[in-house]
Amino acid sequence: MDVATALDRLPKVELHCHIEGTMRPATVVELARKNGIALSTADPTELYRYSNLDTFLEIFWLVQSTLGSREDWARLAYESIVDGAAHGLVYRESFFTPARHLDAGQDLADIVAGLADGLAAAEGETGARAMLIADIDRAYGGAAGRQMVERLSELRQAGSPGVERVIGVGLDSTEIGVDPTDFADAFELAGKAGLHRTSHQGEETPPSYIRLGLDVLGSERIDHGLSSLQDPELTRRLAGERIPLTVCPNSNVVIANAVPRLELHPYPRMREAGLLATLNTDDPALTDMDLGREYRSCMEAFDYRWPDMVEIALDGVEATWLDDGGKRDLRARIERDAAALGQGLDRG
């Protein structure tokens, strides 16, 4: 077997993937038509070229705006896991960012129920498992973020359908010019409600934002954390405390344009510095990527060997919010399948 196929089949977890960013182009077209959203082209992939995070977000927001009902969210979630599982995904903690939809009058209860419906259907078909992280959209500000967390807490208390899937909150969208401390209230409330916390930091911003994500927002993980190495003391802390970074190397090239070529990405140096740097796709359908190719392209660009890739997959498990038993089971599965796949690899 060639290594590309083996990497595609290697069981993998993913902790940095926006469910809206997994929407199939055909689904974008169908939902846009159904919900009266104007697309300037019959082939949305023509729009998928970005010069920085904000130009990407304009397209991400357009794609998001096609989701109009519980059924739409269910379809998105179902297709997202089916497509991920086709490339070795076995467990995902997936972001969804409902600010735009809540602002337009959708109810968080319907969004969560729809997503949970779709995830359950896909789990039954693929055996992959998926949980959800409700992301606050920085562009909507701290008050909207707090309202979202309040509504989520209400739904948890009421045992609203599917709400048990939502295990944490996150923070995404535009970084530059937004003060992370605006979201301290929302994150504090999430912590009190027993939700995990993570936040996008350091995709386009310096290490000081990563520190704020940890110290002011109480983030247990940092999404991207691309600028970590610029601050040696922060790097020592992240490594020493095994604080996971959910790194998306291809996204950093294609979306943020923060790195000109994959070969120049700091990922290998991050790992050499002892960081728990996991591998993720971010928005695979909007960047022509999948998790198998994310692993393969990084293996080639960073001159990694098969055991390095297995170690990266196992680090993904450590970084999840699964309980110890869940982590042990997943680790055992990856080790078993990796050994079998490794045996069958083409040599030479």
Active site amino acids: 203
CA torsion through residues 85, 254, 283, 217, sign: positive
What minimum distance in Å lies between the beta carbon of 154 and ligand HPA?
25
Nearer of residues 200 and 271 to Zn ion, judged by Cβ: 200
Residue 173's binding partner among Zn ion, ligand HPA, none (Cβ under 5 to 8 angstroms by kind) is ligand HPA
Nearest to 311 by CA among 266, 277, 341: 277
What is the smallest separation between the CB atom of 247 and Zn ion, expressed in angstroms? 11
Q: Judged by CB, which is closer to Zn ion: 117, or 282?
A: 282
For ligand HPA, give the closer residue by CB, 132 or 310. 132
Q: Does 135 bind Zn ion (CB under 5 A)?
A: no
The residue range among 155-163, 281-289, 290-298, 308-316 that interacts with Zn ion, by the rule CB under 5 A, is 281-289
Rounded to whole angstroms, how far apart are CA atoms 87 and 12?
Answer: 9
Question: Nearest distance from residue 32's CB to Zn ion, in Å?
Answer: 23
Q: Which helix (H) or strand (E) holds 246?
A: strand 245-247
Does residue 306 contact residue 342 with C-beta atoms inside 8 Å?
A: yes
Beta carbon nearer to Zn ion, 19 or 341: 19
* Minimum separation from the CB atom of position 184 to Zn ion (A): 21
Nearest to 293 by CA among 128, 86, 123, 95: 86
Number of residues counted as binding Zn ion (CB under 5 A)? 1
Residue 318: Cβ within 10 Å count: 15
Indicate the residue whose CB is closest to ligand HPA: 172
Helix (H) or strand (E) holding 277: strand 277-279
Q: At closest approach, how far in Å is the CB of 97 from ligand HPA?
A: 6
Nearest to ligand HPA of 83, 282 (CB atom): 282
209 contacts 201 by C-beta, under 8 angstroms: yes
Using the rule CB under 5 A, is 14 a contact of Zn ion?
no
Interaxial angle between packed helices 291-301 and 306-318, expressed in degrees from 0 to 180 and rounded to the nearest 10: 130
Count Cβ atoms below 10 Å from residue 1 Cβ, excluding itself. Answer: 13
Question: Could you tell which of Zn ion, ligand HPA, none binds residue 21, using a CB distance below 5 to 8 A set by kind?
Answer: ligand HPA
Phi and psi angles of residue 317, each rounded to the nearest 5 degrees, phi first: -65, -45
Q: If contact means CB under 5 to 8 A according to the sort of partner, which of Zn ion, ligand HPA, none does residue 235 touch?
A: none
Q: How far apart are CA 226 and CA 206, in angstroms?
A: 9
Q: Does 315 bind Zn ion (CB under 5 A)?
A: no
- With CB cut-offs between 5 and 8 Å by kind, which of ligand HPA, Zn ion, none does residue 110 bind? none
d(CA 78, CA 257): 30
Interaction between residue 282 and Zn ion (CB under 5 A): yes
Q: How far is the CB of 20 from ligand HPA (least distance, A)?
A: 7
- Any idea which residue has 């790194």 for tokens? 247
Binding site for ligand HPA (CB under 6 A): 18, 21, 53, 60, 172-173, 200, 203, 251, 255, 282-283
Question: Around Cβ 278, how many Cβ atoms within 10 Å?
Answer: 26
Which residues contact Zn ion by CB under 5 A?
282
